[in-house]
Structure 1
Amino acid sequence: MEFLLAIMTGVLYAAGLYMMLRRSLVKLIIGLIIIGNGANLLIFLLGRITKGAPPIIPGDTKFFADIYADPVPQALILTAIVISFGLQSFAIILVKRAYQVVKTDDLDEMNTIEEEV
């Protein structure tokens, strides 16, 4: 199972990088979203997949008898999801405004347009 998820992480990174190398700003945002999902999956894999009890341990326990799930990767992924949502919403609004001003989505045409001031 971990091998399949590792391959999926690589596929997400490759697809996101491919989309980010396109000339369209919309494809750049989609590539950023895909790479963010690949990073979340990578954090999840680094925390190791364990089928165990929730990490609630009674106070009178002297040592761990069962396998407990690690809550740190889950908390990191939740934080990354919130941060990536904020970044994505900012980038979408920025692309919308750039399209309204320049009237194009192509990055090469955005670089060559002369602005009249």
Structure 2
Amino acid sequence: MTVTLVLVVAMAVLFSCGVYLLLERSLTRMLLGFLLLGNALNLLLLVMSGAAGKPPIGKSAEGITDPLPQAFALTAIVITFAVSAFLLALIHRSWKLSRADEVEVDEADAAIGRQRDGSGDEDVVDEDPEIDTDPEAAQQEENAR
């Protein structure tokens, strides 16, 4: 295995672990997932920049390294740091207010999602027992209004 292949495999592992952690309900795990994605992005920029060359200081322009990917990597590091600090502040504020690190399910959003899913499909079964699924009762209620 070459160094580039090792970096590609490491980048793929970081991307997959970062996406997995971002899909969790814990805010701390989301922050860790975001940090892993930021590091994977930096590895992507490093791999895509090509082979190492001469420094861009000298008399000839042959074989010098392109400084643009390095500038992109520095920019990505700064942006990742700033967003991580913001997310950490949000996590701290959430912990101070509710003493919980979990993102709760918003019932109003879930109900809207179920209504949107059910509007186009007749095969969708509503899992909420509180909602009356009898079409005649719904029609009578609609006529009463």
TM-score (norm 2): 0.67
- Runs (4+) of structure 1 moved beyond 3 Å? none
RMSD: 1.5
Q: Percent of counterpart pairs with the same letter?
A: 33
Whole-angstrom distance in 1 between the partners of 2:4 and 2:56 = 21
Aligned to 2:83: 87
For residue 57 of structure 1, report the CA deviation from its aligned partner: 3.3
Question: Which runs of 5 or more residues in structure 1 are unaligned?
Answer: 113-117
Q: Give the letter aligned to residue 47 of structure 1.
A: S
1:5 to 4, 7, 10: 7
- Structure 2: 5+ residue runs without aligned partners? 108-145
Instruction: Quote the Cα distance in structure 1 between the aligned partners of 2:66 and 2:11.
Output: 20
Q: What is the distance in 2 between the residues matched to 1:76 and 1:11?
A: 21
Question: 1:35 maps to which residue?
Answer: 37
- 1:1-117 → structure 2 map (5 Å cutoff): 1-50=3-52, 52-58=53-59, 61=60, 64-65=61-62, 67-108=63-104, 111=106
Q: Which has the larger radius of gyration?
A: 2
Greater relative contact order structure (CA < 8 Å, 6+ sep): 1
Deviations 1:60-108 (A, max 9, x none): x4xx44x211111111101110111111011101110011112211112
**TM-score, normalised to structure 1's length?**
0.82
What is the Cα deviation at residue 49 of structure 1? 2.5
The number of residue pairs the alignment matches comes to 105
